[in-house]
Chains A and B, each alone.
Chain A
């Protein structure tokens, strides 16, 4: 059972993600995580402010159950299926991150320099998380999907809109990583 505890290689993980997509297709649903953000807005009463949130959210309950399961899955993975192996990042990545002052790259899933409470509770640290989350939430709905809906499901279905969206994901990601992150952390 050792192999379950170690990090899983890409050629195991990728096919298993495809399996998640096919399971939901078989159940008559579509794999798409970002739809839940809209559902949560609707449950919170956002329909008072925009037609966009006036829909029958109960038809989306199944997706909220997937999300609840995903939270449980995260808990199970770190508490019962991990041996604490650091992430085998590329040596160049570790070197690049040192120039940002990130000293323990790969030792945990998330950098304490961004997600540690002492940084989160500073103005800059809070700004990073709020801006990052806001852009993801705004952009994903504007683009009509996220990594699961466009990159996995949409590309599997050979849809041109999803290809355009994924090109956008990369344009934005490259801009942030190469131009903006060095300004923020450099």
Chain B
């Protein structure tokens, strides 16, 4: 039963991403063409509120439901992996029009051909795992 709250968060997330049209290939294309404010508004308002909220949570030393002080895990310092990995991700994002969250959500909307994108993404992650030690990080 401890998992039920995650189910609700997931359902809510899926509904929001469909209703915001952020799961649409067309909206991603439009964003990268700079032809609409829509996606920038979504990401911008989420990050603005997120940054203010995270700042407040840290400032007051807020605790999570387990009673532990909230800390967001820091990413390790590096440059190459973020820029190279990010660029590869961006190429795929603009081609398939879906990032890892929407891939699952779109399956739920009945777009089953997205399953091919999801399987290919799992394969991509697997190949990264094989090559990890050989790549610049």
On A, residues with C-beta under 8 Å from B are: 4, 7-28, 30, 33-34, 36-38, 40-41, 44, 46, 49-50, 52-53, 61-63, 65-78, 81-82, 87, 89-90, 92-93, 96-97, 105-106, 109-111, 114-117, 120, 126, 128-148, 150-162, 164-178, 180-181, 184
* Among A66, A68, A105, A135, contact of B92 (Cβ-Cβ < 8 Å): A135
Interface hits, B70-89 → A, CB 8 Å: 70, 72-79, 81-89
Top 3 closest A-B pairs, CB basis? A168-B86, A73-B14, A69-B10
Q: Which residues of B contact A133 (CB under 8 A)?
A: 92, 96, 103, 116-121, 123-124
Whether A142 touches B16, Cβ cut-off 8 Å, given contacts A114-B25, A156-B47, is no
Residues in chain B within 8 A of chain A (CB atoms) = 3, 5-33, 35-47, 49-51, 53-54, 57, 64-66, 68, 70, 72-79, 81-101, 103-111, 113-114, 116-130, 132, 135
- What is the count of residue pairs linking A and B with beta-carbon distances less than 8 angstroms? 495
Q: How far is the CA of A73 from the CA of B18 in the complex (A)?
A: 8
Q: Is the interface of B mostly helix, strand, loop or mixed?
A: helix
The CA-CA distance from A181 to B91 in the complex, in Å, is: 10
CB-based contact A169/B44 at 8 Å: no
Question: What's the least CB distance linking A139 to chain B, in Å?
Answer: 3
Complex Cα spacing A16 to B68, Å:
24
